[in-house]
Structure 1
Amino acid sequence: MIDKASTPRNPFADIAPALADYTDKVLFGDVWKRSQLSPRDRSLVTVSCLVALYRVNEMPFHLKRALENGVTRDELIEVITHMAFYAGWPVASTALQIARRVFEDSGA
C-alpha cells in the first residue's frame, strides 16, 4: 500500500492547484482509503477500467501502484488478457505494451 510519503507530488499542481488538491485529498486521501475495498482490490478495478477506457496516460502510474498494492505481475497480465474479450483486442494489446515497460522499470 502506498503512503503519503511515497506518493509523488501531483504532476499538474503547478497549473491546476485546486484539481491537484482534490486529487490528493479526496481521491487518494478519502476514496482510496475507504475500508469497503482493499487498496489491492481498488487497484484491480482501476487497472481494469483504465484498460477498458484506453486511458494510456494514467495506466503506467496505476500499474505501478497496483504492484505496490500487492497485485502480482501475473495477475495484471491476466486482467489485461481478460479485458481483451470485454473491451477489445486493441486496448489489451496497448495495455500489454505499457505493462511491459512498467515491469521493466520496476523490476517486476
Structure 2
Amino acid sequence: MRIESPREAASHFTPELTALIEDPLYSERVWADPRLSPRDRSIATLGAIVALYRPDELRAQLHRAVDNGLTLEEISALITHTAFYGGFPAAISASVIAHEVLSPDHH
C-alpha cells in the first residue's frame, strides 16, 4: 500500500503550495542539480529535518534516502551525529520514527 507523502496530503488544502514546492524544489533547480548527488542531498536533507524536528516530512525523506542509496546503518549514524548539532530530543524522536518507518518488523 502506497502512503501519501506530506506534500501530497497538503495539496488537498493548499494546491498552490504544492505547485511551488514541485518547482523549484523537485525540478532541475534543486533536487536535480548535478552539483550534488541524490544521495548527498538526502544526507543534507535528513540532517536538517532531524535537527528541525519535522516528523511528517522525516517519514517521507527516510524512504527517499533509502531509495537514494543510504543504508539503515548510515541513517542511524546520521541521526546520532545530528544529535550533537540539533539536539538530543530531536534525534531521539527521529530514531523512533526511523525505527517505525524502516524496520522490517514495523511493516
TM-score higher than 0.5: yes
SS at match of 2:22: helix
2 CA distance for matches of 1:62 and 1:52? 14
Residues 1:92 and 2:91 are matched in the alignment: yes
Assess if the C-alpha contact under 8 Å between 1:10 and 1:24 holds in 2.
Answer: no
TM-score (norm. length: structure 1): 0.84
Letter in 1 for 2:65: A
Q: What residue number does 2:75 align with?
A: 76
Q: What residue number does 2:63 align with?
A: 64
SS at match of 2:9: coil
2 CA distance for matches of 1:84 and 1:14? 34
Gap runs ≥5 in structure 2: none
Q: What residue number does 2:36 align with?
A: 37
Identical aligned pairs, as a percentage? 40
Q: What residue number does 1:14 align with?
A: 12
Question: CA 1:43 to 1:106, structure 2 compared with 1: closer, same or farther past 3 Å?
Answer: farther
Aligned length: 102
Letter in 2 for 1:36: R
2 CA distance for matches of 1:15 and 1:77? 34
1 CA distance for matches of 2:13 and 2:36? 32
Question: 1:10-67 CA distances to partner (integer Å, 9 max, x unpaired)?
Answer: 2222221111111122111231000010111000000000011111121000011000
1 CA distance for matches of 2:19 and 2:12? 11
Q: What residue number does 1:4 align with?
A: none
1 CA distance for matches of 2:75 and 2:105? 14
